[in-house]
Every structure is written in C-alpha cells, then in structure tokens.
Amino acid sequence: MRCGSAPLEACFQRLTHMTIETRIEQISTVILQLDDSKVPRNIRAGAKEAVDKWLLNKSKDLDVRIAMAQNKLEELSEDPNIPMEYGVLVLQVLTALEQLLGEV
C-alpha cells in the first residue's frame, strides 16, 4: 500500500514525526508558563533555554532535543527557590517528555 508516491510506512513515520513535533510545541507552550514574575529569574531563563536551545531547535536530532530539555528541566525542578505550583508543572512536563522520548 502506498500514500501518494511514498510507501505507507514512510507516510506513517512522517505523520508520527509531525505529531511529535506538535506535542513538542504544546509542551514548549506549557514550559513558557514559567515566565511569571513569581518565578525567580534564573528559573525563567533556564525554562526559556530548554525551549529555545533544545526543544524547538530543529537542527538537532529529536531524541537529543528532548533529552537535553529534560536535563535542563530536571536541574530547574531541584532548585529550592522554585514555587511549589511551578515545581509541579515542571514535573508534569518531565513526565510528558519522558513519554515522548519513548516514542522516538
């Protein structure tokens, strides 16, 4: 079976990749909720770095992007100055990224 001029498997891989990219964009939007005056500047900067430098950087491999963003967010979650409600948010994002990494 074919999808246009490409084999069905290639179409499925493209669709899966698009779905993962869409989910990455949604996760990035959630991470950017840390850009709040209640959150210390270093944590806001780290969250922005996780999104801009890693998650949305399409010049890097998908698994590297997700893993490096996870690493940065884990560092932020361990910061004693992170407000509790935002710490929970970071942990939820880490769970979502872990699921994505398992799909890549």
Counting the structural domains of the chain, the total is 1
pLDDT of residue 104: 81
Q: Which helix (H) or strand (E) holds 22?
A: helix 8-31
Position 44 scores a pLDDT of: 96
Full residue range of the structural domain in which residue 91 is found: 2-103
pLDDT score of 9: 65
Q: Using an 8 Å Cβ cutoff, are 55 and 66 in contact?
A: yes
Q: Which pTM value belongs to this model?
A: 0.80
Residue 88, domain CATH = 1.20.1440.50
pLDDT value of residue 103: 86
Six token digits for residue 13 = 């891989």
pLDDT means over runs of 10, the chain (104 residues):
56 65 93 93 96 96 96 96 94 94 88
For residue 1, the model assigns a pLDDT of: 44
